[in-house]
Amino acid sequence: MSRTVGWILFAILALVGVVGVFLRFTSSRDLAAYGSYIPWGLWVATYIFFAGLSAGAFVVAVLGHVFGVERLRPVAPLALAIALACLGAALVTVWFDLGHMERVLNVFLRPHFSSMMAWMVWLYTAYAIATVLALYGLWRGLPSLTRIALMVGTPLVVFYPGAAGALFGTVVAQSLWHSPVFPILFLFGGVLSGIALVTFATVFFSRKDKDYTDRVWLLGRITLGLLLMYLLIEWAEYSIPMWYQVGHEFEALMGVLFGPYWFVFWIFHLSLGMIIPILLLALWPRNPLAVGIAGLLASSMFLSVRLNLVIPSQVQPQLEGLVNAYRDRRLSYTYLPTLFEWSVVAFSVALAIAIAYGVVWFLNREKKLEVTQ
């Protein structure tokens, strides 16, 4: 029954996604709401969202296989499947965002070493290879390959969300991005959201073996710890520029908190993405349902963090009055993703699910591993 519902939901998601992608290829980006003053929108946010998820998921496998947290070992295949799926979704989303999708290989053909974006792509590539190898090791029953791949992947998983953070953090022009905490924040956020996602998946989709509840408890605890630490960092991130209530960053942050999209912060991020999961995890640490829901909320709501990271900085005009100097819908400082943009995101989500499902299904079929129930 629930399986059917799942399938129906997936089918809808996929259908919407396919329509979105079709539109993306036919009507170019006509229907997107981003422009030149807010050049990066939902897709870029989705991309870093998925990238973070991927990293966090990978960390679970690393914990299990490299750091010897035995209890997490059984979910390593699931975690790696999720990591691969999210990475795929991330890359596809950002690929859709390019003005010249056909030239994406230029990143390899014309590498530009000063660009954080270039570095990020290369790190991704390396990381993707590590993930695939680790999975290959699991599939083939080559634990040392998995271990080595995961060990190699460990610094990558530290660097690439860091690089993603640096991609923003190095942009002098954007006062809200231009902050040394950014790489750390990215890393943390990624790990948090990814582990939360694995927690969710573990609760609902993993085999309920004897360690199931312990594993869930452990994942819940890790998630809770990360949530609390994230709150702390966020407090630092917000309180410093807010202190004297002047400057660009202050204005941008005020926009985040009390601007037209205040609910993104207060409702999606803080309430649904943080407080409720924290409460669930703190009050019912051993209740898998509570932990699972907390995981789902903490991971999925993290998109709001990514949105709040990408958009508000751009909403601040670099030059006062520029917006009135030449007017066009592409030259505006307001941004609300269009249905079209969401539909492309739907595609990415569907794609991620498909990849994860596919990998798991493949691993299951081989009977070598029993990843899920």
Q: Which is nearer to another protein, 111 or 143 (CB)?
A: 111
Q: Which is nearer to another protein, 30 or 214 (CB)?
A: 30
In whole angstroms, the minimum distance from the beta carbon of 38 to another protein comes to 9
Q: Which is nearer to another protein, 12 or 322 (CB)?
A: 322
In whole angstroms, the minimum distance from the beta carbon of 27 to another protein comes to 10
- Distance between CA atoms of residues 326 and 322, nearest Å: 7
Q: Which is nearer to another protein, 141 or 317 (CB)?
A: 317
Looking up tokens 């923003």 gives 168
Residue 372, helix vs strand vs coil: strand
In whole angstroms, the minimum distance from the beta carbon of 22 to another protein comes to 15
Binding site for another protein (CB under 8 A): 28-30, 35-37, 39-40, 97-100, 103-104, 106-107, 109-112, 114-118, 121, 167, 170-174, 314, 317-322, 324-331
Q: Which is nearer to another protein, 15 or 98 (CB)?
A: 98
Q: Which amino acid is at 103?
A: R
Q: Which is nearer to another protein, 82 or 123 (CB)?
A: 123
In whole angstroms, the minimum distance from the beta carbon of 168 to another protein comes to 8
Give the contacts of 17 (CB within 8 A, at least 6 positions apart). Answer: 343, 344, 345, 346, 347, 348, 349, 350, 351
In whole angstroms, the minimum distance from the beta carbon of 289 to another protein comes to 42
Residues 367-372: contacts with CB under 8 Å, at least 24 apart:
368/139, 368/141, 369/77, 369/138, 369/139, 370/207, 371/77, 371/78, 371/81, 371/206, 371/207, 372/78, 372/205, 372/206, 372/207
Q: Which is nearer to another protein, 5 or 173 (CB)?
A: 173
Give the contacts of 243 (CB within 8 A, at least 6 positions apart). Answer: none
Q: Which is nearer to another protein, 28 or 373 (CB)?
A: 28
Which residues lie across from 206 on neighbouring strands? Answer: 372
Question: Residues 60, 79: contact at Cβ < 8 Å?
Answer: yes
In whole angstroms, the minimum distance from the beta carbon of 251 to another protein comes to 16
Q: Which is nearer to another protein, 163 or 353 (CB)?
A: 163
In whole angstroms, the minimum distance from the beta carbon of 302 to another protein comes to 21
In whole angstroms, the minimum distance from the beta carbon of 307 to another protein comes to 15
Q: In a 10 Å sphere around its CB, with 0-12 CB exposed, 13-18 middle and 19+ buried, how is residue 231 labelled?
A: middle
- Distance between CA atoms of residues 299 and 54, nearest Å: 11
Question: Residues 94, 44: contact at Cβ < 8 Å?
Answer: yes
In whole angstroms, the minimum distance from the beta carbon of 300 to another protein comes to 26
- Distance between CA atoms of residues 220 and 216, nearest Å: 6
Find the angle CA(310)-CA(312)-CA(318) to the nearest 5 degrees: 105
